[in-house]
């Protein structure tokens, strides 16, 4: 009990520390001062009266949402004395693997840079700046020559790295046999089995109504849909993050989704947020980065060719170019096993004073990266809203899909979960696929890395992402991937 | 996939098809063939042909405008201003050259707005241009079309109805006569919609399919699927010369330097409807789609008495609808021969299913009872009156919970529906034999 209490006070202290620097804190302070003029605030009971005022005016709810958001995003410290690397990734061999993968990517990027004699970053001449500003809303119409650029890496390259992951401390004594080496992933991570998954994802059980299933045309809306929509509207009226997250486990009605996601991700478009986005835009106009060409190429190769998303091409540039310059994203590296790549000012290699993070947000895009943003264009119209939502989604979920870690929502665990489920429950299918030379993971890996974007119809995809938000976990991706072979198996038989 | 001609029942498996030249039961013909041969072709009772003799009353822009204007006046007389306002889905249009004076009057009332000049009978975006000043149409007037202009301008303004028969129809022979005098091409000047609804900064229009089985009484079916055609370039009013921006017709887009064949720049209507549903309230989306239904009904009603009714005829129309930023739908035009060439796999499937279901509704093999409200992807939209969505409910629009039987952009589980339909028809047949 004592340990729990001290853990709790540690958590509270951390959250208070974090929120003290936020704009919400400043707003609360201002509100508290302003409330002193209200008749119901009395000097004798100042604290209680102000608390009461916050409750009635909805500020308490905002604070609750912020705290809830912090709890969701930041992992709880395992031990007060744990070093920061442990927060990123507790297992040494995983950290090492991530480190060497990063070195490879950076090497590839640098060599491309040298080959093409293009600097990693340069200031744009004023004429070009003006031109870009004019074309800001239609950057898709540009057709720069991108033939010399190649994506830094593709999901299949990453898969090769994961396949070769080994825990040097692990010796299970089994001789190399067929049964121990069925799957591609060979690391001993703990993943949930079906009974545990059932317990975790209880709202997805057959007895609970679901959007995407129980709102189909054959089912009368009175049975589930109408009531579900009504509850959704109530949740939005209350502006309660935690309630929204619980609600969305059963799927979100199309009309309410944009607001619900904003509530769950605790995104409120304050003037300072809009200003921040405009500043990022200015950065884009003033400086040209090598990664911009990579982003351009990726959008042209993937989203522009997609039947659904080609329409939103311009929005993708507006989001991704700003994203690479957003240094606030660096904050997520505290709990991401990856670290931002460092680059050095020309001629000062190795001197720490001249080191900068490159790109400024520390995230190097890979082939298909733009597909993380594309489905969001269905929900948000204003670029800054779209931007904020994408950034939140990235620092909460998407980063785990391309970094090596032992986290249960990390891509390694998802792959292992997928393979284990498939081997356990569909062994014949698994065996058959291997026999014909089609390792199941090789097929499903790219679906999971992209969180199914581009592989599922948008309405289905958004329902899937509803559940990711609802359960604050990516494990559902492995479950879905596993259920697709079920359908395949039915056909196979 | 090219437009099918002389189609037999190959897809149905039976063959009552044509053996010799001139003998056919079902003809999917060209409008030019129709013009030349319809009047002196004898057709048995069971024979079907895919055009009405004078379909141009609906599909030629100048005739359609006239018919709609006349219908609107009639509605105002009979049912009042509110009812007549339901016909205001067509942007103000003036036939050129005969309504030039009226056009100039309107032009002067709204200085600075953009107008679009369209040839009456051409398709695929040919010959269309935008203008804002009367000066801009000077060059055009200097061309062959303008010669007729000049002669007209010399005369006092004539009432347009002078060339129209009392019944309201346009005699084809009179336009042939005109042809002999001067090679004139008729144009219409139309108010350009300057605030189209944009998605991803791009302008788009909707192509929707309406199947009319008869005009007297009016029986029309609406196909659930269709598509939104996007302009490849971003919408701006600053460059009205860039026809690629403003014309969403796929044929025009294909020649744009930005065009990538893989893209196809189309969205299926379902996707479009989903997109709207995530941006606007369900009520707003419902209202938009019911206004679109209204466009079909009113436009068909306006030519109902004018089209030569013939039990052999049916027609599949391609309606082009533009949505503006206030979510108001506008009718751009109606096509009697909508393109059936496919620009992508999705497109190919849509058009194949569309044709299949058209043949099901035409029902050469007389399998249907005639009481069906849905056949495959087609929903019966109008049956001499509005059709209710509810099963078995009387089709009385006065009733509080009347919902029209249209499902544009909704789920199209046509295969299942057809299976069930034909199975139950077989059962009925067995029972009655």
Helix axes A475-492, A411-425, angle to 10 degrees: 30
For residue B335 the two structure tokens come to 């096509």
Q: How far is B263 from chain A (nearest CA, A)?
A: 6
| Min distance B304 CA to chain A CA atoms (Å) | 35
pLDDT tens track for A283-326: 999 999 988 999 999 998 888 888 889 899 999 999 999 999 99
Mean pLDDT across chain B, nearest whole number?
Answer: 77
What's residue B241's pLDDT? 59
Question: Where does the pLDDT of residue A263 fall: very low under 50, low under 70, confident under 90, or very high at 90 and above?
Answer: very high
Is the Cβ–Cβ distance between B202 and A309 less than 8 Å?
no
Range with the lowest mean pLDDT among A45-49, B390-394, B404-408?
Answer: B390-394
Q: Which of A478-482, B243-247, B266-270, B354-358 has the lowest mean pLDDT?
A: B243-247
Who among B201, B230, B413 is closest to A314 (CB)? B201
The helix/strand/coil state of B332 is strand
| The pLDDT of residue A79 | 67
Q: Which residues pair with B382 in a beta bridge?
A: B220, B386
Q: Do B263 and A314 touch (CB under 8 A)?
A: no
pLDDT in tens, B243-280: 555 555 555 555 555 445 444 488 999 999 999 998 89
Mean pLDDT value across residues B361-390: 89
Distance CA A269, CA A273 (A): 6
**Record: contact A217-B413, CB cut-off 8 A:** yes
Q: Is the pLDDT reported for residue B18 higher than 50?
A: no
- C-alpha to C-alpha distance for B244 and A311, rounded to whole angstroms: 16
Q: Measured between CA atoms, how close is B431 to chain A, in angstroms?
A: 28
Distance (Å, whole) CA A31 – CA A50: 9
Q: How confident is the model at residue B242 (pLDDT cuts 50, 70, 90)?
A: low
Cis peptide before B309 (omega within 30 of 0): no
CA-to-CA dists, residue A269 to A217, A263, A283, A387, B281, angstroms: 36, 11, 20, 11, 21
A59-73 and A2-20 helices, crossing angle to 10°: 110
Query: Is residue B183 scored above 80 in pLDDT?
Result: no
Assess whether the previous peptide bond of A12 is cis (omega < 30° from 0): no
Residues 6+ apart with CB under 8 A from A465: A375, A451
Task: Sort out which chain B residues have CB atoms less than 8 A from A315's CB and list them.
Answer: 200
Per the listing, tokens 């016909």 go with B87
Find chain B residues with C-beta within 8 A of A257's C-beta. Answer: 278
CB contact under 8 A, A378 and B258: no
Long-range contacts of B127-134 (CB under 8 A, 24+ apart): B127/B185, B128/B243, B128/B247, B129/B241, B129/B243, B130/B192, B130/B240, B130/B241, B130/B243, B130/B246, B131/B240, B132/B240, B134/B104, B134/B107
Q: Return the number of other C-beta atoms located less than 10 Å from residue B308's C-beta.
A: 14
pLDDT tens readout for residues B51-92 = 888 898 998 888 888 899 999 999 999 999 988 899 999 998
Q: Which of A143, A255, A305 has its CB closest to that of B278?
A: A255
Separation between Cα atoms, residue B209 and residue B407, nearest integer Å = 12
Q: What pLDDT band is residue B432 in, cutting at 50, 70 and 90?
A: confident
Q: Which of A181-185, A437-441, B114-118 has the lowest mean pLDDT?
A: A181-185
- Chain B nearest-CA distance from A210, in A, is 18
Residue of A nearest to B413 (CA): A217
Cα separation of B99 and A354, whole Å? Answer: 75
Give the CA distances from residue B207 to residues A62, B292, B322, B415, in Å, rounded to whole numbers and listed in that order: 46, 12, 9, 22
Indicate if the pLDDT at residue A487 is higher than 70: no
Of B61 and A265, more confident: A265
Closest Cβ–Cβ partner in A138, A310, A459 for B234: A138
Identify all chain B residues contacting A141, using CB atoms and an 8 Å cutoff: 233-234, 258
Average pLDDT, chain A: 84
Angstrom distance (rounded) from CA B428 to CA B433:
9
- For residues A47 and A53, the answer to whether their CB atoms sit within 8 Å is no
Contacts (Cβ under 8 Å, ≥6 apart) of A61: A238, A239, A240
Question: Can you read off the two tokens belonging to residue A131?
Answer: 């031109």
Banded pLDDT at A371 (limits 50, 70, 90): very high
Using an 8 Å CB-CB cutoff, list chain B residues near A459.
274
Backbone conformation region of residue B60, classed left if phi is above 0, alpha if psi is from -120 to 50, else beta: beta
Q: How many CB atoms lie within 10 A of CB A305?
A: 14
Contact A305 B282 (CB under 8 A): no
- Strand B93-96 with B187-191, pairing: antiparallel
Paired residues of A287 in beta bridges: A123
pLDDT for res B155: 43
CB A273 within 8 A of CB A384: yes
pTM over 0.90: no
* Cβ-nearest to A379 among B201, B262, B278: B278
Q: So what's the pLDDT on residue A187?
A: 79
The gap between the terminal CA atoms of chain A, to the nearest Å, is 55
User: Which alpha helices (H) appear in B257-381, and where do they start and end?
Assistant: 269-279, 282-303, 345-362
pLDDT-derived band at A118 (thresholds 50, 70, 90) equals confident
Position B172 scores a pLDDT of 36
| Residues belonging to chain A with any Cβ–Cβ distance to chain B shorter than 8 Å | 137-138, 140-141, 143, 217, 254-255, 257-258, 304-305, 307-308, 310-315, 377-379, 381, 458-459
State the burial class of residue B373 (Cβ atoms within 10 Å of its Cβ: 0-12, 13-18, 19+): middle
CB contacts of B325 in chain A (<8 Å) are none
Is the pLDDT score of B94 beyond 80? Answer: yes
Q: Which residues of A touch B271 (CB under 8 A)?
A: 308, 458
pLDDT at B254: 55
Question: Cβ distance A184 to A415 under 8 Å?
Answer: yes
Q: Are B6 and B24 in contact (CB under 8 A)?
A: yes
Nearest CA among B239, B364, B340 for reference residue B5: B340
Three-class DSSP category at B358 = helix
Q: What is the mean pLDDT of residues A323-349?
A: 84
Q: Mention every residue, 6+ apart, whose C-beta is less than 8 A from residue B422.
A: B367
**Interface touch A255/B258, C-beta < 8 Å:** no
Percentage of chain B beyond pLDDT 70 is 73
Residue A392 has what pLDDT? 94
- Give residue A55's pLDDT band: very low, low, confident or very high (50, 70, 90): confident
Residues of chain B with C-beta less than 8 angstroms from the C-beta of A312: 200
Outline where DSSP puts E strands in B102-249. Answer: 115-119, 129-131, 187-191, 198-199, 202-214, 219-234
For B9-25, what is the mean pLDDT? 40
Whether A141 sits inside 8 A of B258 (CB atoms) is yes
If you average pLDDT over residues A429-443, what whole number do you get?
83
pLDDT band at A150 (very low <50, low <70, confident <90, very high): confident
Chain B neighbors of A140, CB-CB under 8 A:
234
Angle at A433 between CA A431 and CA A437, to 5 degrees: 115
Q: Do A141 and B263 touch (CB under 8 A)?
A: no
Region A255-276: mean pLDDT is 91
Chain A nearest-CA distance from B13, in A, is 28
Exposure string of B291-304, with b = 16+ CB inside 10 Å and e = fewer, is: bbbebbbbbbbbbb
Q: How does DSSP classify residue B4?
A: P
CA distance A378 to chain B (A): 6
What interhelical angle do A411-425 and A155-163 show, nearest 10? 70
- The region of weakest confidence among A79-93, A128-142, A211-225, A312-326 is A211-225
Categorize the per-residue pLDDT at B225 as very low, low, confident or very high, splitting at 50, 70 and 90: very high
What does the DSSP assignment read for B66-89? HHHHHHHHHHHHHH-HHHHHTTTT
The answer on pLDDT for B16 being more than 60 is: no
- Non-local (6+) Cβ contacts of A145 within 8 A are none
Q: How would you class B111 by CB atoms within 10 Å of its CB: exposed for 0-12, middle for 13-18, buried for 19 or more?
A: exposed
Measuring CA to CA, which residue among B64, B107, B146, B130 is closest to residue B331? Answer: B64
- Across the interface, whether the CB atoms of A311 and B267 are under 8 A apart is answered yes
CA–CA dist B149, B408 (Å, integer): 42
What local confidence, expressed as pLDDT, does residue A466 receive?
A: 93
Other C-beta atoms lying within 10 Å of the C-beta of residue A426: 20
A307–B264 CB contact, under 8 Å? yes
Partners of residue B199 in chain A, C-beta under 8 Å: 311
CB contact under 8 A, B233 and A458: no
CA atoms of A482 and A424, how far apart (whole Å) = 11
Residue B345's closest chain A neighbor by CA? A307
In this complex, how many residue pairs, one in chain A and one in chain B, have their CB atoms less than 8 Å apart? 57
Give pLDDT, residue A83. 77
- Would you call B271 an interface residue with chain A, using a CB distance cutoff of 8 Å? yes
**Least confident residue range of A215-229, B86-100, B335-349:** A215-229
Give yes or no for residue A218 having a pLDDT over 70: no
Q: For residue A257, give the nearest of B230, B278, B282 by CB distance.
A: B278
Q: Is B261 on the interface with A (CB under 8 A)?
A: no
Q: Which of A255, A318, A319 to probe by mutation at the B interface, max B CB count within 10 Å? A: A255
Judged by CB atoms closer than 8 Å, whether chains meet at B267 and A255 is answered as no
The complex's ipTM? 0.81
Which comes out higher in pLDDT, residue B306 or A198?
B306
**Does A138 contact B278 at a Cβ distance shorter than 8 Å?**
no
**Contact: B274, A311; criterion CB under 8 Å:** no
Q: At A233, is the pLDDT very low, low, confident or very high (cuts 50, 70, 90)?
A: very high
The backbone torsions φ and ψ at residue A113, rounded to the nearest 5 degrees and listed phi first, read -60, -45
Distance of CA B125 to the CA centre of its chain: 15
Is the bond into A264 cis (omega within 30 degrees of 0)?
no
Determine contact, residues A153/A105, Cβ cutoff 8 Å: yes
Average of pLDDT values for A323-338?
Answer: 91
Residue A137 to residue B201, Cβ atoms within 8 A:
yes
Contact assignment for B200 to A315 by CB distance below 8 Å: yes
B263 touches chain A (CB under 8 A): yes
Min Cα distance A64 → chain B (Å) is 27
Instruction: List the 272-301 stretch of B: residues with Cβ below 8 A of A.
Output: 274-275, 277-282
């Amino acid at each position: 009990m004592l340990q729990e209490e001290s853990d709790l006070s540690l958590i509270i202290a951390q959250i208070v520390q974090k929120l003290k620097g936020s704009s919400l804190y400043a707003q609360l302070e201002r509100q508290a001062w302003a409330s002193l003029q209200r008749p119901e605030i009395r000097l004798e009971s100042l604290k209680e009266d102000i608390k009461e005022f916050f409750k009635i005016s909805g500020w308490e709810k905002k604070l609750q949402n912020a705290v809830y958001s912090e709890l969701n995003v930041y992992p709880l410290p395992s031990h007060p004395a744990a070093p920061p690397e442990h927060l990123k990734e507790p297992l040494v061999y995983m950290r090492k693997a991530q480190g060497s993968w990063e070195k490879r990517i950076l090497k590839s990027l640098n060599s491309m840079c040298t080959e093409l004699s293009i600097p990693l970053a340069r200031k744009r001449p004023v004429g070009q700046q003006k031109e870009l500003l004019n074309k800001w809303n239609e950057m898709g119409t540009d057709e720069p020559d991108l033939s010399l650029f190649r994506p830094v890496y593709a999901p299949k390259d990453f898969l090769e790295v994961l396949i070769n992951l080994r825990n040097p401390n692990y010796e299970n004594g089994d001789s190399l046999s067929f049964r121990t080496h069925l799957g591609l992933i060979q690391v001993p991570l703990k993943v949930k089995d079906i009974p545990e998954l059932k317990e975790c994802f209880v709202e997805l059980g057959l007895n609970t109504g679901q959007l995407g299933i129980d709102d189909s045309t054959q089912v009368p809306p009175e049975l589930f849909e109408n009531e579900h929509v009504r509850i959704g509207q109530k949740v939005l009226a209350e502006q309660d993050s935690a309630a929204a997250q619980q609600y969305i486990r059963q799927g979100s009605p199309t009309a309410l989704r944009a607001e619900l996601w904003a509530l769950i991700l605790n995104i409120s478009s304050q003037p300072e947020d809009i200003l921040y986005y405009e500043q990022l835009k200015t950065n884009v106009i003033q400086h040209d980065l090598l990664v911009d060409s990579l982003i351009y190429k990726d959008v042209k190769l993937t989203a522009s060719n997609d039947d659904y998303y080609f329409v939103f091409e311009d929005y993708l540039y507006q989001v991704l170019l700003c994203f690479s310059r957003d240094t606030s994203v660096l904050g997520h590296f505290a709990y991401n096993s990856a670290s931002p790549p460092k680059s050095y000012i020309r001629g000062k290699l190795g001197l720490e004073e001249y080191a900068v993070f490159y790109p400024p947000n520390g995230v190097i895009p890979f082939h298909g990266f733009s597909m993380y943003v594309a489905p969001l264009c269905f929900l948000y119209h204003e670029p800054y809203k779209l931007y904020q939502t994408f950034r939140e989604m990235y620092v909460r979920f998407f980063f785990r899909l391309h970094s090596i870690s032992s986290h249960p929502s990390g891509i390694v665990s998802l792959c292992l979960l997928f393979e284990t489920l498939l081997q356990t429950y569909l062994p014949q299918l698994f065996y058959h696929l291997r026999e014909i030379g089609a390792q199941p993971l090789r097929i499903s890996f790219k679906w999971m890395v992209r969180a199914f974007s581009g592989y599922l119809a948008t309405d289905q995809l958004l329902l899937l992402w509803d559940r990711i938000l609802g359960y604050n976990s990516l494990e559902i991706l492995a479950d879905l991937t596993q259920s697709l072979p079920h359908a395949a198996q039915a056909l196979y038989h | 996939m090219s437009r099918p001609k002389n189609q037999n029942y190959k897809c149905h498996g039976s063959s009552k098809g044509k053996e010799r030249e001139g003998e056919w039961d079902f003809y999917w013909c060209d409008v030019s063939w129709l013009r030349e041969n319809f009047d002196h072709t004898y057709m048995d009772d069971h024979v079907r042909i895919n055009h009405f003799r004078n379909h141009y009353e609906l599909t030629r822009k100048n005739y359609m405008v006239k018919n709609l204007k006349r219908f609107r006046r009639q509605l105002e007389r009979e049912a009042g201003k509110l009812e007549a306002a339901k016909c205001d889905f067509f942007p103000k249009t003036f036939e050129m050259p005969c309504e030039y004076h009226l056009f100039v009057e309107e032009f002067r009332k709204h200085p600075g707005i953009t107008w679009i000049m369209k040839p009456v009978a051409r398709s695929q975006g040919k010959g269309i241009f935008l203008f804002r000043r009367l000066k801009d149409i000077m060059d055009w007037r200097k061309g062959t079309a303008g010669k007729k202009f000049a002669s007209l301008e010399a005369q006092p303004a004539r009432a347009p109805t002078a060339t129209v028969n009392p019944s309201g129809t346009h005699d084809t022979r009179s336009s042939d006569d005109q042809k002999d005098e001067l090679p004139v091409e008729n144009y219409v000047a139309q108010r350009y919609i300057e605030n189209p609804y944009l998605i991803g900064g791009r302008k788009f229009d909707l192509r929707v399919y309406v199947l009319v089985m008869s005009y007297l009484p009016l029986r029309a079916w609406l196909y659930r699927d269709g598509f939104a055609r996007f302009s490849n370039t971003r919408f701006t009013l600053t460059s009205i010369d860039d026809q690629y921006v403003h014309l969403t017709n796929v044929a025009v887009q294909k020649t744009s330097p930005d065009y990538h064949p893989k893209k196809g720049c189309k969205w299926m209507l379902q996707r479009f409807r989903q997109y709207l549903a995530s941006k606007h309230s369900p009520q707003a989306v419902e209202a938009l789609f019911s206004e679109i239904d209204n466009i079909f009904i009113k436009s068909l009603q306006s030519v109902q008495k004018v089209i030569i009714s013939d039990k052999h005829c049916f027609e599949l129309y391609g309606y082009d609808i533009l949505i503006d930023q206030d979510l108001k739908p506008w009718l751009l035009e109606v096509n009697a021969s909508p393109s059936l060439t496919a620009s992508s796999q999705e497109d190919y499937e849509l058009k194949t299913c569309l044709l299949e279901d058209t043949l099901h509704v035409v029902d050469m093999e007389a399998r249907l009872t005639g009481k069906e409200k849905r056949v495959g992807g087609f929903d019966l939209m109008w049956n001499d009156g509005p059709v209710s969505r509810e099963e078995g409910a009387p089709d009385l629009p006065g009733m509080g919970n009347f919902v029209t039987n249209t499902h544009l952009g909704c789920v199209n589980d046509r295969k299942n529906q057809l299976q069930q339909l034909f199975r139950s028809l077989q059962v009925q047949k067995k029972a009655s034999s």
